[in-house]
Amino acid sequence: MTLEYLSQNRAFDGDQFVLSHHSDATGTEMTFSVYVPPHLPGVKLPVLWYLSGLTCTHANVTEKGEYRRACAEHGIVFVAPDTSPRGEDVPDAPDEYDFGKGAGFYVDATQDPWSRHYRMRSYLEIELPQVVASEFPVDLSRQAITGHSMGGHGALTIGLRDPARFRSISAFSPIVSPSRVPWGEKALSRYLGDDRDAWRAYDAVALIEDGARHDHILVDQGTADQFLEEQLKTGALSLACAKAGMSPEIRMQEGYDHSYYFISSFMADHIAWHAARLG
């Protein structure tokens, strides 16, 4: 596999990289960023995966997430992939910001024309970890995952589907039950078809209802988030966890909205929380 280094910058005595490679999962070129904190030669480090939200790429959190100081302090590699496949041959819905490119919803699509390239679940769960581990000093026995909005949905569902792999899960303003909100219903119906049972693997609330469990979940949600009531529905996650006997940390942050001003305010807190569980 050939990795192309697009940029490298020094930060907090570590290195911020942006790279691209051809993905077998999506059949396209994929770009992602990696921050490697300062470390001793030969040491392998825990890794925190960050999944971005609708319309975003790897660049949003890389440029605005303010995670590098905390990752350097705690010795954590931070990886930020793209949100969907890209390229001229990739199908898109250019007039719809919440579907197509930039809105992959971290699923493996089964419906035409999306199924050929929109395979973000396989890319993130199988291919990208192998790519990162082949090039960077990561310890894949110590993984955690986080994300924002659509990426919060991705972090929750990926982590809940494989709790033995991900020691901790966190999210900023996640879409907790895409099966029940407009953003999610549009995406899941087109990517996966009309069988709602097939959607349940991509819905955190449904996964918990169906028996998924995790002991370490942290969610921050702003009370001034314009999408809270219609699209995010944090209360549905609280209710599902209570019924399942789970005790996540779900924190309503007064006055915060859906933006990176919110994410950057609590990013260091999330990284410290993950660090305590990654060892």
Domain ranges across the chain: 3-276
- Average pLDDT in the 238-261 region? 98
Share of the chain above pLDDT 90, in %: 99
Q: How many CA atoms lie within 13 A of 187 on its CB side?
A: 31
- CA–CA separation, 202 vs 196, rounded Å? 10
pLDDT score of 98? 97
172-222: pLDDT as tens digits: 999 999 999 999 999 999 999 999 999 999 999 999 999 999 999 999 999
CATH entry 3.40.50.1820 includes domain 3-276: yes
Q: What confidence tier does 41 reach under pLDDT thresholds 50, 70, 90?
A: very high
Catalytic option among 92, 203, 220, 225: 225
- Average pLDDT in the 20-47 region? 98
Catalytic option among 58, 216, 258, 274: 258
Q: 258 an active-site residue?
A: yes
250-260: pLDDT as tens digits: 999 999 999 99
Q: Phi/psi at 11 (nearest 5 deg)?
A: -155, 125
Q: Is 257:225 a contact under the CB 8 Å cutoff?
A: yes
- Average pLDDT in the 96-107 region? 97
Residue listed under structure tokens 């999506």? 26
Q: 197 an active-site residue?
A: no
List, edge to edge, every strand of the sheet that includes 29-36: 3-11, 14-22, 29-36, 77-81, 45-51, 138-147, 166-172, 217-222, 249-253
Give Cα 121 distance to the centre of its chain: 11
- Average pLDDT in the 224-228 region? 98
Q: 225 an active-site residue?
A: yes
pLDDT score of 32? 98
- Average pLDDT in the 158-164 region? 98
Q: What confidence tier does 36 reach under pLDDT thresholds 50, 70, 90?
A: very high
Catalytic option among 33, 149, 168, 173: 149
Give the burial class of 271: count Cβ atoms within 10 A of its Cβ; 0-12 exposed, 13-18 middle, 19 or more buried.
buried
- What sign does the CA torsion over 278, 34, 90, 24 have? negative
- Average pLDDT in the 29-48 region? 98
Q: What confidence tier does 89 reach under pLDDT thresholds 50, 70, 90?
A: very high
What is the rounded average pLDDT for all residues in the chain? 98
